[in-house]
Amino acid sequence: MDAVFEVNRRYRDKGSWRDEDDQFLRWIRGPLSAGIKNTGGIRDLSFEDSSETAALILVSNDDGVSQHADPWKDALDVSGGHIEYWGDAKAGVAYDESVQNQKIAQAFERAARGNRSAVPPVLMFRKPEPGVVQFCGLCVPVRFEVGTYYDDDGTQIPNYRFHFAILNVPKVPVSWLHERALHRSDAAAPSEWTEWVSSGTITRWPLGDRVTDTRGYRRRIDREERVVSGQFRDDALARFEHQCVVTGIEESSVLDVAHVLARSDHPDLVEDDENVLVMNALHHRAFDADLFTLDDERRLQVNPQFDPGHPFLQETIIARADEAVSLPPEVTIAPEYLAERNQSLAWV
């Protein structure tokens, strides 16, 4: 079978592996004697020779898809490479006694102990509408915690919240899942998965930025920084003519104020006109991750290790290395700020 699950693509979920038009349950089952369940958020694929988990398939329903109200709101930040997924808990089923929760928690505990070869791959899907699933990516565990909500009767119900990183893998071959389940083989595994298993290094979607210490990953997700005022953002967008300096994208709703010198290191320069550029959110994140920069002639300089899976990043950054970006006439970037930024980058 040559089937693949591709990030952000949608697939038909007919609810039965016997349906020839099904691209979810049928594909995952393939040549196996058993596949995954057709309901539930946490669905495990077992090894053929045991009940141990060969792969975890997680499904998150969009609002209104399920006939039952779901108090747990997952955060599927695919463009940011991060998933926050609530486990299975309800009144009468303790979160730490849920069999499905235990399967995910066990994967996190094994990863924390360094026993990554015993961690099953996690494939994340969202369900935007009945009969359809959308692939969000191949994930690895980062950390988990316990959160709570109160039901209509005021009963406090705790639950696991699992944090995953999405690996920089645009397409996952379904045959890999079959080989794992049948022969416990990772020969068809994506190289990013193999690297994580062997070293713990996360190469994250969609930028390919590498995280070798998940404590640093957590800081990047959670750290507090001085915020840019709405007025400063509006003024900056106006000066840059409401365009991303790298791509020319003109959608104000997706444009950010990017800082040459980081806000966390230079809070005094947060609203300095000569310390900011306007970029779309994706390129802003790549810039902040030091995957590209601008030299003193405003030419794109690219980190040699930057190998994004996203074709848009390939076209707009990799293919344009050494190309100068244009700035509106009234915009000035302080050369000393660019110099300080670039001196801190070992690859420049």
| pLDDT value of position 68 | 60
What are the domain boundaries of the chain? 4-222, 230-343
Q: Across residues 152-161, what is the average pLDDT?
A: 80
Indicate the pLDDT class of residue 220, thresholds 50, 70 and 90. Answer: very low
C-alpha span between 54 and 65 (Å, rounded): 28
pTM over 0.85: no
pLDDT in tens, 119-132: 999 999 999 999 99
C-alpha span between 122 and 143 (Å, rounded): 14
The total of other beta-carbon atoms located within 10 Å of residue 193's CB is: 20
Report the mean per-residue pLDDT for the chain: 90
3-state secondary structure at position 213: coil
pLDDT in tens, 12-55: 999 999 999 999 999 999 999 999 999 999 999 999 999 999 99
pLDDT in tens, 169-214: 999 999 999 999 999 999 999 999 999 999 999 999 988 888 886 6
Q: Across residues 252-261, what is the average pLDDT?
A: 92
| pLDDT value of position 64 | 63
| pLDDT value of position 82 | 92
CB 203 within 8 A of CB 167: yes
Take residue 194 and report the two structure tokens written for it: 């193999």
pLDDT in tens, 69-86: 566 789 998 888 999 999
The total of other beta-carbon atoms located within 10 Å of residue 229's CB is: 11
Report the candidate in 248, 348, 337, 334 with the shortest Cα–Cα distance to residue 293: 348
**On the CB side of 69, how many CA atoms lie within 13 Å of its CA?**
3
Angle at 34 between CA 31 and CA 37, to 5 degrees: 125
Pseudo-torsion of CA 312, 315, 318, 319, nearest 10°?
A: 180
| pLDDT value of position 305 | 85
C-alpha span between 9 and 290 (Å, rounded): 29
CATH of span 4-222: 2.30.280.20
DSSP state of 90: B
Sequence-distant (6+) residues with CB within 8 A of 199 are: 212
On the question of pLDDT at 147 being above 80, the answer is: yes
Q: Across residues 230-235, what is the average pLDDT?
A: 90
C-alpha span between 228 and 249 (Å, rounded): 21
